[in-house]
Amino acid sequence: MPPSSVQTDAILSASELSLSFGRHAILDGATLALYAGEKVGLVGRNGSGKSSFLRIVAGDERPDTGTVSRKQGLVVGYLPQEFQLDDSATVDANIRAGAADLIAAIERYETAHDLSESESARLLSFIDHGDGWQLESRIELLRRELAAPPGDRLVAHLSGGEKRRVGLCRALLSQPDLLILDEPTNHLDAGAIAWLEGWLADSNGACLFVTHDRYFLDRIATRIVELADGRFFSHEGNYSDYLIAKADRQERDQNAEHKRQRFLSREIEWVRAGVKARGTKQRSRIDNFYAVKAQRAPEKELDMELVIPPPPPLANVVVELAETGHFYDRDPLFLGLDLEFKAGECVGVVGPNGVGKTTLLKLILGELEPTAGSVRIGKRTEFNYVDQTRLALDENKSVLEEVSQGQDSVRFGAETISVRSYLQRFLFGNERINDRIGNLSGGEKNRVLLAKILRRGGNFLVLDEPTNDLDLQTLRVLEEALINFGGTALVVSHDRWFLDRVCDRVVVFEGNGRVTVNEGNYSYYLEKRRAAEAVAAAAAKAKPVKAAAPAAPAPDKPKKLKWKEERELEVMEETIHTAEAAVSELEAKLNDPSFYIENAADAPTLIADLERMKAEVAALYTRWEELDAIRAAAE
């Protein structure tokens, strides 16, 4: 059913779609309708068919059976996972290709002299619908906010991440009625992701998207559609609502299956007895038995048993950076960085693209020498580095051949296990283990890469964007594996949910060569930064204190303390101690990372209270000195 907040006419309908690759059916009578203005997050395991479905509704692939119908005149923007740009053209030309029809309409409207009144009206309506008169300013906005390369650069010279940002600019440019996005947050930093969230939330167009970014799903989706067992299951609300609804759905399915099995157990003996269906009731009972028996049981959802091989012991020194800095050309990427890694902890690294995160990894790995300071690597530290490009896979090899590397077993701590058992932990069953890499989905290939990389062992994992292209279930088990990993881990990621789950500390590249090391997870760091910004903003808005009036000439006779002032002075020291204790208690609360888990929203108010209390303590000291001076003068 369509959400109540949108019109009832679907802008796109997919009906009874089926699609198979060999014996593997990924769509099996799948039906889904999309409505104007809604934001639909499509979730499901890697290999379940999400990207294939997006290609079908975008018109880039045909299903085996079934139909896709669109509302007439529907403008569609599409960012596929494996997108194509014109390498021979510039960044600007590739971005403008996303609004080619709009640009052509503007050019014809402005230059043609033979337009009929009806064609002129049609062109003007099309241009207005796509906000064509703001096209140039929109190109500049997209390039700036999504950190796209300069417009005159050739696409052939761009990195994979730069090309993806260009592709996203191209998809957004025409402000389509339906935007189809496959992993839009890949290769975007936190600032660009936040901007994209705001852009989509403010957009009147519909959006169908696949992403592993759970915060993105939570903040943007108005409906979650799960693709499982070849069919769609629709849940109103965001990702958090979906998790609750899915648990309820699975419980209902299990209860229904339990009742079905109980019914079959009761009826099987009667059917086996060969009772002849002489009467209508007997025939109906037999028909009912076979109908219930033919029903498909709910598919059991399996999880990867991803366990990172137990690490060798670490020495007291793991990796230590002291006053470390590095320059790019003559500009500092960072300076004065002190960072000491400990066994059993996970450290996250965040910051915009191009500020030096990968350089920091290379310094830690010993692949680069620092320009300033030092990097000390412990004698027992064994790195296992998973870089952004991962490892190349041979498309012609089977999963077993690619991961086994000619060996029958995998070293797992002090033990060995068979390669087949090892691959089963990554959800590759016996029928899938012998499949060619080239027949796997993108997500399944990533699981092969994880299996291939993690078998190398090590006690210091360095993961550069490990979450890209992993499905939500795989992300969850990777998080659990990192939390339970006995060695040290360093992760570079823009996935905020992932960082919050696994990190004990975060190293933040804040721009202009400034790098900070922060205790707690990423949300804790953000809350502290926002609270500090709120205090600074409040202080900036505060009215300046008026200068004190000139002191009156001192009288000939010394002033004496009044009775109330005597009493005030007697208890002043105790009053100050009480006020200082309250300040210390509030400081301890705000410095405790666990406070922010449930009370992060209260932090700005408490920090403002803390500043006020500190000012009151300072005022008490001033008053104490004033009263004490009066008493001393009178004696």
* Cβ 624 vs Cβ 576: under 8 Å: yes
In which domain, by residue range, is 262 found?
245-294
Average confidence (pLDDT) over 152-160: 88
Residues 6+ apart with CB under 8 A from 61: 52, 55
CATH number at residue 411: 3.40.50.300
Tens-place pLDDT, residues 429-465:
777 888 888 888 766 777 787 788 778 788 999 988 8
Mean pLDDT across 384-394 = 71
> Is 307 among the domain residues?
no
CATH number at residue 578: 1.10.287.380
Q: Do both 475 and 411 map to the same domain?
A: yes
Number of independent structural domains in the chain: 4
pLDDT in the model for residue 488:
94
Same domain, residue pair 14 and 140: yes
Q: Which amino acid is present at 375?
A: V
Q: How high is the pLDDT of residue 608?
A: 67
> Both 25 and 89 in a single domain?
yes
Radius of gyration of the chain (CA): 32
Taking residues 562-569, what's their average pLDDT?
71
In a domain, 299, yes or no: no
Report pLDDT for 5: 43
Q: Based on the fold, state whether residues 152 and 253 are members of the same structural domain.
A: no
* 276 and 330, same domain (yes or no): no
* CA 324 and chain centroid, separation: 30
Distance CA 398, CA 251 (A): 37
* Top-confidence range, 264-278, 360-374, 510-524: 360-374
CB 359 within 8 A of CB 464: no
Is 1's pLDDT higher than 50?
A: no
Range with top average pLDDT, 194-208, 273-287, 509-523, 615-629? 194-208
Report, as an integer, the average pLDDT of 67-90: 90
Same domain for 424 and 327, yes or no, is yes
Please state, in angstroms and rounded to a whole number, the distance separating the CA atoms of residues 57 and 12: 8
Confidence of residue 6 (pLDDT cuts 50, 70, 90): very low
* Residue at 369 is within a domain: yes
pLDDT of residue 162 exceeding 50, the answer is: yes
C-alpha to C-alpha distance for 337 and 342, rounded to whole angstroms: 16
Contacts of 356 (CB under 8 A, 6+ apart): 326, 328, 333, 334, 509, 515
Give the C-alpha separation, 51 to 274, whole Å.
Answer: 49
Evaluate whether residue 2 is within a structural domain. Answer: no
Band (pLDDT 50/70/90 cuts) for residue 600 is low
Q: Provide the percentage of residues in the chain whose pLDDT is more than 90.
A: 32
Count how many residues are written for the chain: 635
* Last-in-domain residue among 254, 279, 294: 294
Distance CA 342, CA 603 (A): 29
pTM of the model: 0.63
Greater confidence, 296 or 113? 113
540 shares a domain with 512 = no
pLDDT tens digits along 468-479:
767 777 778 788
Here the tokens at position 610 are 């803390």
